Amino acid sequence: MSSAKVEQPTARGSLLTSIKTCLASLGLNHDKLLTEHAACTHHEDLESDENIGDAVKTRTPSPITETIAPGRLRSLFPPNNYGAVVPGAVYRSSYPHEKNFDFLESLKLKTIITLVPEDIPSEYSDFMKRAGIQHFQVHINANKGAVRVQSCDINRALNIVLDRSNHPILIHCNKGKHRTGCLVASLRRLQGTDIETVRHEYHVYSDPKARFWDEVFFEQFDLNTVMWHARKEDWVAPTVEGAPLSPPPSPVSSLYVPKPET
């Protein structure tokens, strides 16, 4: 008697099933594109056979040499994971250290927003006071094992970033990966950036520590909660999707009754 060979599920197939089960258990919409993306891309919070190792590390910018006087140079050190979200207006990074202060001062920042709850080191607080930088601290939860970011917290942080009177502004958490990544991704969606580009930018700054639950959050985040402020500050066009290109004919004309001839 010949025994039938039972085909074992592939690692990718098991991962797809696991992702779908997780989303369903949380009552979240099953997004086919997000599920496929998660199964094909490394995330630290999903089981994977892929061994990333230390091949990809946190982005460490090279020091910048600035001339401050003839014959005299100084090196400026950007924080790790530094990047310009909107050049001249919105920047992102990991938690700045004392060696980064000269670089931050060169950006002529008006505002810094910190997304972690720990007390601000005295040297950092003193630097911001000295440079005339206003500081906001909004605690954003980490999406570890589930979506834990509260929409109200992202709303508060987004409203600070959307306010152009706060620019130039620096956004940072500890590593500049997850909390900062969720906030920037939400801003990108408000700008109308396509979701594949939003995901790619998130991975540029978070790999090899990208988190699937971060992506679930910023793809499901309800933009309508901050849309009024975004339009007021000219981040999005003040139009309504599906609105007619021109006003419809006035119904008054159909009610016109000619006067009887005398």
Confidence (pLDDT) at 145: 80
Selection from 131, 122, 125 nearest residue 102 by Cα: 131
Residue 48 has a CB neighbour count (10 Å cut-off) of 15
Confidence (pLDDT) at 222: 94
pTM confidence score: 0.71
- Which range among 155-159, 170-174, 220-224, 255-259 shows the weakest confidence by mean pLDDT? 255-259
> What is the DSSP secondary structure assignment for residue 260, as one 8-state letter?
P
Q: What is the mean pLDDT of residues 1-27?
A: 53
> CA dist 133 to 45, 82, 166, Å?
36, 18, 10
Interior angle at CA 13, CA 20 and CA 24, nearest 5? 5
- Give exposure, 186-213, as e/b (b: 16+ Cβ within 10 Å): bbbbbeeeebeebbebbbebbbbbbbbb
Determine the residue type at 244: P
Confidence (pLDDT) at 18: 60
3-state DSSP assignment of residue 172:
strand
16 or 99, greater pLDDT: 99
Interior angle at CA 145, CA 142 and CA 147, nearest 5? 60
pLDDT band of 225, cuts 50, 70, 90: very high
Tens digit of pLDDT for each residue in 189-200? 999 999 999 999
Tens digit of pLDDT for each residue in 75-114? 899 999 999 999 999 999 999 999 999 999 999 999 999 9
Q: Which tokens sit at 92?
A: 């992102």
Confidence (pLDDT) at 172: 99
Confidence (pLDDT) at 187: 97
What distance in Å separates the CA atoms of residue 193 and residue 85, rounded to the nearest whole number? 12
List the beta bridge partners of residue 136.
113
Tens digit of pLDDT for each residue in 127-178? 999 999 999 999 999 988 888 899 999 999 999 999 999 999 999 999 999 9
Please give the mean pLDDT across all residues of the chain: 79
Q: Is 219:194 a contact under the CB 8 Å cutoff?
A: no
pLDDT band of 232, cuts 50, 70, 90: very high
Query: Does the structure show a pLDDT above 80 at 17?
Result: no
What distance in Å separates the CA atoms of residue 185 and residue 148, rounded to the nearest whole number? 16
Residue with tokens 């003040």: 238
pLDDT band of 115, cuts 50, 70, 90: very high
Query: Does the structure show a pLDDT above 60 at 4?
Result: no
Report the DSSP pairing between strands 111-114 and 134-137: parallel
Tens digit of pLDDT for each residue in 36-55? 555 556 566 555 544 444 44
Tell whether the torsion through CA atoms of 218, 224, 230 and 236 is positive or negative. Answer: positive
Confidence (pLDDT) at 75: 81
Q: Is 173 a catalytic residue?
A: yes
Query: Does the structure show a pLDDT above 90 at 180?
Result: yes
3-state DSSP assignment of residue 211:
coil
- Give exposure, 147-180, as e/b (b: 16+ Cβ within 10 Å): bebebebbbbbbbbbbeeebbbbbbbbebbbbbb
The percentage of the chain sitting over the pLDDT mark of 90, rounded to a whole number, equals 57
Annotated catalytic residue, options 22, 40, 152, 173: 173
Confidence (pLDDT) at 31: 59
Query: Does the structure show a pLDDT above 80 at 5?
Result: no
